[in-house]
Amino acid sequence: MDLTPATALPKLLAAAWLLPLASFVVILFVGKRLGPHGKWAGYLAVGAIVSAFLLSCVAMFAVWLPNHELPVAHHGEHHDEGDQHDGAPADDDHQHGTAALLQDAPLTACADHDSPFQLAAFQENEAHADGHAVEEGHAANPPPTYYFGDWYSLGQFGALKLTIGYYIDALTVTMFCMVTLIASCVHIYALGYMHDELHDPYHDHEVIVHGHHLHRPGRFHRFFQYLSLFCFSMLGIVIAGNVAMVFVFWELVGICSYFLIGFYFERHSASTAANKAFIVNRVGDFGMLIGMMALWASLGTFAFGDKQDAKGQTVLTESGAIAEPGIFSQLRTAENGYRLVPPASMIAEETRNDPAIEAEDAAAGKAGHWLLLVAGVGIFCGCVGKSAQFPLHVWLPDAMEGPTPVSALVHSATMVAAGVYLVGRFYPAFCPEALLVIAIIGCITLSLAATIAITATDIKRVLAYSTVSQLGYMMLALGLGGWIAGLFHLITHAFFKSLLFMCSGSVIHAVHTNDMTEMGGLRKKMPITAYTMLIGCLAIIGAGVPLTPIGFSGYFSKDSIIEQAWSHAQTNGGVYWAFLAMAVIGASMTAFYMFRLWFMTFTGAPRDHHKYDHAHESPRVMTGPLVLLAIFAIAVAWPAFRLTGLLEQAQPVGTAAGGSGVLIEDLVVPAEHLSHAPNIKLRAGLAAFSSAFIGVFGAAVVYLWGYLNPREIKQTFKPIYTLLWNKWYFDQLYNFLFIQPALFIGRQIAAFDRGVIDWFLHACAWTVRLFSMVFDVVFDRTLVDGTVNTAANWTWDFGLLLRRFQTGSLRQYVLFIVMGTWFMCLAYFAAAFVLMS
């Protein structure tokens, strides 16, 4: 087999991508007939996704890694570095030589601000006194290695192309492995979890019809059908070669999510939640469309990469320019040192309506930046919707109406992370201002969701808000310039969050309720679940030994986010410290609510004995995946596995160096490697650890040891508690602000159609009728009818006369004919005679 990456990767990944589709199609048509009640459909889906996983692994370990040398460990394995070198610069980074030199150059912009966090440790570096140093020189990185191509075209109009194609780099391969691995686990888990659906009829205890529980046929195969379609769509997003294709699969995962949330469509809450999810996502897609339009109109392409030949080499024109440059190559050209500079077409597009602005902006060096901002924020809007960021976060908690495996796969690990993935993918096109928007949104989201999670009692909703909050972390990281940090957290989070959800599913499976107030003490009944969940909790709070490379996966990724926030705050100072503060406080809250959840569920005395007595450990088909995921949740981020190195390989063009704002002039996005500076690392690590510790300790005080009565706390903070309990009243607010007005406008418009337009028509018709009635009486009946009636009477009389000739006698008829002919001829001759004379 030919294992050169340019040929093998697209084929391998396409096969991995299409296998779930095949599974979907098969189950769609013959699912019910596969085994008893469609049982084999589940195995089929599992087989497809496991095969996809194996193919992804082949792509990763047999094709990608042997052909692409990982960068020498430095950036990613910061703990390692921190230990061994402890502040000494590592000059062995041959890829970013200059960047490495700059690594220890702290961002002296902070010197302008007198923040209490600015420690003397920085003073030795004051020589580098230029805040914009990061982006000067030629520090920006070239495009990563990628393979790009088109499979087929949806439409081509002159130079404009909408295609279905691939863009494969290290991130793509990594995401493939991650998605297929988690999906495999979830599929296997679901074989056990959805076992009830194999019964025919299935009893749905949450729906009451005519006073009885609903009985319906099982839908085991349908579930796996949707899961397969989802996997196909999700992998489509990952492999997509252009924004349009991302959008296509973006919507497809949305619809899969719709089907899966609405899987129990008999439940009104489930179908409403499904609608809500899809419509809210569409709001995000609306923004995404605007961003796409801005790009499309100004750049004329959606492609991520440049056109490549069969060997994976960029196709060049005769003059040496890139033949068909993608978005990133247009925005960050080599001539500009891979810095983000709006191309001429964008400047022209921005100012086409008003040349006066052009001159003004050009003078200020801002030309084209507004459009860039619109494009960036627009694309980000899509991510806001999909990743449930504020203000579109409202759908995700409701999405927990779906079966728990769905929550584990779709609504925590993969689909909702797609927003983060897209921000990462699209990163080179975000101008610093757009990144600021991303950071603000991420920051708001993470704190907002964390506060709500503190009061929630539904086990899955707590996890859902936790997901929202963690996604906010990722967005924050990306917005602050931490590309690797954000995507790193994306991958680690996928493992531990799917683990947490599956554990919660296991609990729900055992006690048949979602409400934590009815659980307690389950640790003894279901130890595997309890301890794997504990691993998940520890991973999510970032448990680890500070300043050492020992810890759960979240420890590495969350620390790097906080480091990046620290670095950013140092660079910009002022209010930008709020990002850091929120990140740290958020970490504390995360720890609190996660352990609140664990304590309430697994420790203490059972609150509902009936449920407790019926509880049991889940079957092996469910606990197996838990254990597997737990292992990954612990170890996936360990420096030995070089995950960050892999991500670093995919570092998008020009983004390693950060950048500075044009529209907001003093905004600086620091280069990511700057956050590995030992002084930042030290303090960030301690801050993260202490905040997590405080959180866990607080949870233990209230829920484990019971020193404080939660009910009394509630009473004391009643207004806040009510606010949080009602999720900051977002649902009510949106209902009041958008839904009711939309329905109102709809009714008004419908009424306008009937009441105004149709009224006008009826009025016209009525007028015409009135006129015609008058006309009828005056003109028709008297004048016209009179004439006509007279004529008719005459005709009648004449007919009576003629009737006499109708004798019925044949012989007389002959005579009439003869005489008639004769008279006609006579008349003719007479007429001819008269005319002649």
Spatial CB neighbours of 752, under 8 Å, sequence gap ≥ 6: none
Q: How far apart are CA 90 and CA 101, in angstroms?
A: 8
Q: What gap in Å lies between CA 494 and CA 632, rounded to an integer?
A: 10
Q: State in angstroms the smallest separation of the CB of 545 from another protein.
A: 47
Beta carbon nearer to another protein, 686 or 827: 827
Q: Which of 413, 556, 417 is nearest to 497 (CA)?
A: 413
Beta strand 212-216 pairing with 659-660: unpaired
# residues contacting another protein (CB under 8 A)? 89
Toward another protein, which CB reaches closer, 279 or 700? 279
User: Which is closer to another protein, CB of 300 or CB of 312?
Assistant: 300
Enumerate residues 185-214 that contact another protein by CB under 8 A: 207, 209-210, 214
Q: How many CB atoms lie within 10 A of CB 371?
A: 22
Interacting span for another protein (CB under 8 A) from 83-91, 96-104, 126-134, 297-305: 297-305
Position 15: which residue type? A
Three-state secondary structure readout of 358-376: HHHHHHHCCCCHHHHHHHH
With both helix axes pointing from N to C terminus, report the angle between 432-455 and 369-386 in degrees, rounded to the nearest 10: 20
Cα separation, 781 vs 417, in Å, equals: 80
Q: Within 446-475, which residues bind another protein (CB under 8 A)?
A: none
- Decide whether 351 or 623 has the Cβ nearer to another protein: 351
826 interacts with another protein by CB under 8 A: yes
Q: Which of 348, 547, 621, 700 binds another protein (CB under 8 A)?
A: 348
* Token representation of residue 291: 């961003």
Q: Could you give the C-alpha distances from 683 to 472, 477, 538, 559, 562, in angstroms and in order?
A: 22, 17, 21, 10, 10
User: Which of 421, 418, 419, 410 lies closest to 460 in space, CA to CA?
Assistant: 410
Shortest Cβ 300–another protein spacing (Å): 7
Residue 189 or 258 having the CB closest to another protein = 258
Interactions with another protein, residue window 783-812 (CB under 8 A): 802-812
* Contact set for another protein, span 228-267 (CB under 8 A): 244, 247-249, 251-252, 255, 258, 262, 265-267
Q: Which amino acid is at 543?
A: A
Which residues in the 718-747 window bind another protein by CB under 8 A?
Answer: 742-743, 745-747
Judged by beta carbon, residue 254 or residue 606, the one nearer another protein is 254
> In 3D, which of 74, 111, 113 has the Cα closest to residue 91?
74
Q: Which stretch binds another protein (CB under 8 A): 42-50, 339-347, 445-453, 466-474?
A: 339-347
Q: Considering beta carbons, is residue 722 or 821 the nearer one to another protein?
A: 821
Give CA–CA dist 458/517, Å, rounded: 8
Per CB under 8 A, the list member of 34, 347, 377, 454 interacting with another protein is: 347
CB atoms under 10 Å from CB of 79, counted, come to 25
Options 27, 48, 299, 622; binder of another protein; rule CB under 8 A: 299
The residue among 711 and 803 lying less far from another protein, judged by its C-beta, is 803
Among 791, 814, 830, 831, binds another protein (CB under 8 A): 814
**Closest distance to another protein from the beta carbon of 267 (Å):** 7
User: Residues near 651 by Cβ (< 8 Å), separated by ≥ 6?
Assistant: 141, 144, 483, 484
Q: Which of 825, 827, 830, 832 binds another protein (CB under 8 A)?
A: 825
Please say whether the beta carbons of 49 and 180 come within 8 A.
Answer: yes
Q: Give the residue, chosen from 198, 292, 499, 667, that forms a contact with another protein under the rule CB under 8 A.
A: 292
Nearer to another protein, 289 or 581 (CB): 289
Kindly state whether residue 95 participates in binding another protein, applying the rule CB under 8 A: no
Judged by CB under 8 A, does residue 14 bind another protein?
no
Detail the DSSP E strand segments found in 66-146: none
Q: Is 345 in the site for another protein (CB under 8 A)?
A: yes
Task: Report the residue from 120, 159, 834, 835 that binds another protein according to the rule CB under 8 A.
Answer: 159
Q: Sign (positive/negative) of CA torsion 11, 15, 21, 26?
A: positive
- CB atoms < 10 A from the CB of 544, how many? 25
Shortest distance, CB of residue 235 to another protein, whole angstroms? 15
Q: What is the residue whose two structure tokens read 């130890």?
A: 527
Query: Which CB atom, from 313 or from 806, has the smaller least distance to another protein?
Result: 806
Residues 580-599 that bind another protein (CB under 8 A): none
Q: Which residues pair with 166 in a beta bridge?
A: 149, 240
Cα gap 457→454, rounded to integer Å: 8
Question: Contact 21/232 with Cβ under 8 angstroms?
Answer: yes
- Closer Cβ to another protein, 351 or 564, answer by number: 351
* Per-residue binder mask for another protein (CB under 8 A), 756-785, x = binder: -xx--x---x--------------------
Question: Tokens 């890694």 sit at which residue?
Answer: 65
Hey, is 206 helix, strand or coil? strand
The minimum distance between CB 268 and another protein, in angstroms, equals: 6
Nearer to another protein, 289 or 704 (CB): 289
| Site residues (CB under 8 A) for another protein, limited to 261-290 | 262, 265-268, 271-272, 274-275, 278-279, 282-283, 285-286, 289-290
Chain positions 498 to 537 lying near another protein, rule: CB under 8 A, are none
Judged by CB under 8 A, the residue of 294, 587, 677, 684 near another protein is 294
Cβ closer to another protein: 330 or 469?
A: 330
Helices (H) and strands (E) in the chain, counts: 33, 8
